[in-house]
């Protein structure tokens, strides 16, 4: 083997790149001295581009294919080197392979809430998150604007900058969309297109594009969502008064409850009085010594049904209670003049002192005993 053959073996004559990392965007083909043999084979696979950088300048960009590195395939390098046609010599260049396939499932999200004005609720704070995919569309621009001399560039190194651009354009789009908060879930696809269109010029300056952009969720703060849930519950209930009357009727029908006990006692007393009066009427109807009965008197009306009350305590509803039960509560102090009370048919909650039927409970109750001694 001659010295020329030995030296020619030290030069690169096969150039290619295979990648299984899924997130590497740019990889520099490394060789000591970057000496490339004239006539070497360059293999650029599908989803790749090869960028030649000579003496700090971008020289050529090769798409997918198999190339013999000769003067007819390196027009810019030939001009830079001032080669004559057919001149064969090793040359030194840096070769960067650029991944042009889609990099999927990249995440974005609002770090802080976005302030916007809702036509129904007024000023609200919104959070959002989603996914997007990224692709290199201009390998030369991407190398010069973003990568520089980085020998191995991954998607993590650019994703943070892209998230900043996405959140900025999302904030503008959502603030100018005038879409009500309650309708945003049905318009995430259209909003995603708006954001992707707004981002495209800035991303294009990096040599990139976003083939897919998705808004997965737009949410309100937890406190606002809790209030919204209560409002939804009120809409489902409908007429609040009828709903409270229905709850009171169900409570009366439950065995063992205070309301059912009070109602049962009242009904039992009424039934007993009615039976006694009926027996007396039958005995009087026969008359003394078998005389003809006198004209039958009309039966008395049924006894009135005892009214029951509900009491609001620490944001919860307690009861229902009969008047006798409330009297005992007034005596032990659990019912006060400022207690909020409600009964079916009453227009909203009222203080016990402002209800004539309950105000009497506080006048009947004896005053506190004098101190001992």
Q: Please write the tens of the pLDDT for every residue from 255-274.
A: 655 555 555 555 555 555 55
What average pLDDT does range 70-97 have in this prediction? 61
Identify whether 300 is part of a domain: no
Full-model pTM: 0.55
Q: Are residues 186 and 206 in the same domain?
A: yes
Other Cβ atoms less than 10 A from the Cβ of 145: the count is: 13
Q: Are residues 122 and 175 in the same domain?
A: yes
Contact indicator for 96, 26 with CB cutoff of 8 Å: yes
Of 179, 199, 225, the domain-final residue: 225
Q: Which pair of tokens denotes residue 15?
A: 């150039």
Give the tens place of pLDDT for each residue, 135-173: 999 999 999 999 988 889 999 999 889 999 999 988 888
Look up the CATH number of the domain holding residue 321. 3.30.1490
Q: What is the SS3 assignment for 147?
A: helix
Q: Are residues 89 and 193 in the same domain?
A: no
Query: Which band of pLDDT confidence, cut at 50, 70 and 90, is reported for residue 7?
Result: very low
Q: Are residues 252 and 359 in the same domain?
A: yes
Identify whether 329 is part of a domain: yes
Identify whether 160 is part of a domain: yes
Sign of CA dihedral 327, 333, 336, 341: negative
Q: Are residues 195 and 250 in the same domain?
A: no
Q: Enter the DSSP assignment of 294.
A: P
pLDDT at 292 over 90: no
Q: Are residues 149 and 47 in the same domain?
A: no
Which residue matches tokens 């007034």?
330
Identify whether 234 is part of a domain: no
Which residue matches tokens 């009424």?
270
Q: Are residues 73 and 115 in the same domain?
A: no
Q: What is the SS3 assignment for 361?
A: helix
Which one has a higher pLDDT value, 5 or 217? 217
Q: Are residues 113 and 182 in the same domain?
A: yes
Of 81, 99, 117, the domain-final residue: 99
Q: Are residues 131 and 182 in the same domain?
A: yes
Identify whether 31 is part of a domain: yes
Identify whether 274 is part of a domain: no
What average pLDDT does range 348-371 have in this prediction? 77
Which pLDDT score, from 0 to 100, does residue 357 have? Answer: 81
Which one has a higher pLDDT value, 63 or 54? 63
- Separation of alpha carbons 136 and 101, rounded Å: 7
Q: Are residues 139 and 152 in the same domain?
A: yes
What is the residue range of 77's domain? 3-99
Q: Are residues 18 and 44 in the same domain?
A: yes
Q: What are the φ and ψ backbone dihedral angles of 27, each rounded to 5 degrees?
A: -135, 130
Identify whether 284 is part of a domain: no
Identify whether 283 is part of a domain: no
Look up the CATH number of the domain holding residue 190. 3.30.479.30
Cα first-last separation, the chain: 128
Contact indicator for 195, 215 with CB cutoff of 8 Å: yes
Q: Are residues 112 and 164 in the same domain?
A: yes
Instruction: Tell me how many domains the chain contains.
Output: 3
Contact indicator for 24, 50 with CB cutoff of 8 Å: no
């Amino acid at each position: 083997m001659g010295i020329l053959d030995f030296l020619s073996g030290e030069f690169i004559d096969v150039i290619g790149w295979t990648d299984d990392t899924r997130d590497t965007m740019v990889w520099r083909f490394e060789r000591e001295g970057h000496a490339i043999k004239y006539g070497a084979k360059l293999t650029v696979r599908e989803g790749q581009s090869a960028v030649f950088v000579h003496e700090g300048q971008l020289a050529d960009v090769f798409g997918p294919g198999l190339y013999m590195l000769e003067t007819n395939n390196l027009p810019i390098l030939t001009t830079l080197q001032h080669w004559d046609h057919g001149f064969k010599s090793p040359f030194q260049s840096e070769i960067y392979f650029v991944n042009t396939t889609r990099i999927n499932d990249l995440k974005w999200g609002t770090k802080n809430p976005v302030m916007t004005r809702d036509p129904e609720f007024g000023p609200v704070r919104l959070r959002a998150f989603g996914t997007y995919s990224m692709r290199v569309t201009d390998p030369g621009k991407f190398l010069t604007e973003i990568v520089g001399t980085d020998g191995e560039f991954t998607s993590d190194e650019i994703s943070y900058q892209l998230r900043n651009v996405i959140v900025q354009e999302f904030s503008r789009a959502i603030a100018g969309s005038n879409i009500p908060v309650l309708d945003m879930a049905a318009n995430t696809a259209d909003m995603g297109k708006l954001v992707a269109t707004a981002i495209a010029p800035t991303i294009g300056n990096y040599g990139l594009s976003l083939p897919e952009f998705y808004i997965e969720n737009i949410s309100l703060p937890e406190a606002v969502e809790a209030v919204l849930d209560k409002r939804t519950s009120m809409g489902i209930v409908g007429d609040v008064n009828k709903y409270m009357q229905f709850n009171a009727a169900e409570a009366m029908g439950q065995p063992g409850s205070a309301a059912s006990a009070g109602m049962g006692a009242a009904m039992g007393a009424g039934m007993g009085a009615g039976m006694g009066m009926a027996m007396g009427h039958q005995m009087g109807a026969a008359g003394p010594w078998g005389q003809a009965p006198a004209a039958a008197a009309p039966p008395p009306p049924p006894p009135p049904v005892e009214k029951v009350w509900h009491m609001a305590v620490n944001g919860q509803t307690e009861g229902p209670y009969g008047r006798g039960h409330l009297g005992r509560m007034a005596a032990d102090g659990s019912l006060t003049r400022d207690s909020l009370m409600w009964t079916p048919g009453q227009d909203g909650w009222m203080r016990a002192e402002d209800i004539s039927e309950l105000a009497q409970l506080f006048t009947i109750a004896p005053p506190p005993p004098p101190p001992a001694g």
